[in-house]
Amino acid sequence: MARQLALRKISYKNYSALHFHTYILAFLSIDLIKKIPTVVSLDMTTSLAAQEQTDPDFQWTYSPNLYLGKQVFENATKIVTRSQWARKSVIEDYNIHPEKVKVIYPGVNLTKLTPPINKNLQKPFNILFVGNDFDRKGGNDVLDVFLKLFYKEAELHLVTHTPIKCDYPNVYIHNNIKAYTPQWLELYHQADVFVMPTYFEGFGWVFIEAMAAGLPVIATKINAIPEIVVHEETGFLIEKGDRNDLACKIRLLMENPALAKEMGIKGREIAEKKFNAQIHCQILENLFHDVTNQGKFCSSYTTSLIAMRGLLV
């Protein structure tokens, strides 16, 4: 699909550069990458995904992707990763020169996602979880801890596509919430803490959204997440599966609203500096100028990326 789209676009006019996100979309376009300066970008590599696969019967299924990924990386002009964690994998697992691989942290629209102006301090403590793959994202850990310890004194809001049956009071399940809608934003504004103790994550976009909304974050100390959530500054990092520590951190923030507020403010500050969509777009645009040394590129990376489904002019 990505190759057909690229060929169709190239047939209309000459392009100065190609951009594939993610790099998997470039697997069948290596011949094009050899001819046209190309940037490929990614959240994580196939090698990192393969390391999480513990069933030996499925290990072999990663081999074709590992081979094609190396071909893409070797022939791409520049490789953009969203984290140092992913960059390290490209360099070490695929034997790519470090100068070729650049980290550009993604950003959120900070004008659309803002902290609430006024917060109702009289309402019950509000815990927010957002994750469609409920089990992998640690949703069952959150629900179990809440039902055992917090359901009488707090609210739990679960935003997920996973069907969940729960008749306990103060558990609210939101199955049809779309990002950046008024209902979605209101959930962030009403929350006191964002919790997603995920077991595996390529990056963790929801964490930067929560930080942009001024929320303290409880997450797991895995993969790229420590590059997003600063332990004991913007929230807490726990070991995956550690429900006792999860409960302790929720309790700590519940009983210390000043600490929760301070962490939320710090998270917003980091989002503005490190995960700003406007800054991200400018850095990426500059990279394209460096790659081609000619032409004028679209300043809206996100719009072009979505429209082209992986191909950016």
What domains does the chain contain, in order, with CATH numbers? 2-107+276-308 (3.40.50.2000), 125-274 (3.40.50.2000)
**Distance, CA of 229 to CA of 243 (rounded, Å):** 19
Tokens 């069948």 correspond to what residue? 28
pLDDT of residue 54: 67
**Distance, CA of 124 to CA of 157 (rounded, Å):** 12
Tokens of 241: 């599966």
Tokens 């332990």 correspond to what residue? 231
pLDDT of residue 91: 98
pLDDT of residue 166: 86
Tokens of 54: 């513990």
pLDDT of residue 10: 76
pLDDT of residue 177: 92
Do the Cβ atoms of 228 and 194 come closer than 8 Å?
Answer: no
Of 63, 61, 62, 78, the C-alpha closest to 26 is: 78
User: Along the 313 residues of the chain, how does pLDDT read in single tens digits?
Assistant: 777 777 877 777 778 888 999 898 999 899 999 989 999 999 999 999 988 876 777 777 888 999 999 999 999 999 999 999 999 999 999 999 999 999 999 999 999 999 998 777 778 999 999 999 999 999 999 999 999 999 999 999 999 999 998 888 899 999 989 999 999 999 999 999 999 999 999 999 999 999 999 999 999 999 999 999 999 999 999 999 999 999 999 999 999 999 999 999 999 999 999 999 999 999 999 999 899 874 344 433 333 332 233 433 3
pLDDT of residue 60: 73
Of 222, 210, 249, the C-alpha closest to 128 is: 210
Q: What angle do CA 200, 143, 267 make, to 5 degrees?
A: 60
End-to-end CA distance of the chain: 17
pLDDT of residue 187: 97
Q: If 0-12 CB within 10 Å is exposed, 13-18 middle and 19+ buried, where does residue 13 land?
A: exposed
Chain centre to alpha carbon of residue 151: 29
pLDDT of residue 139: 98
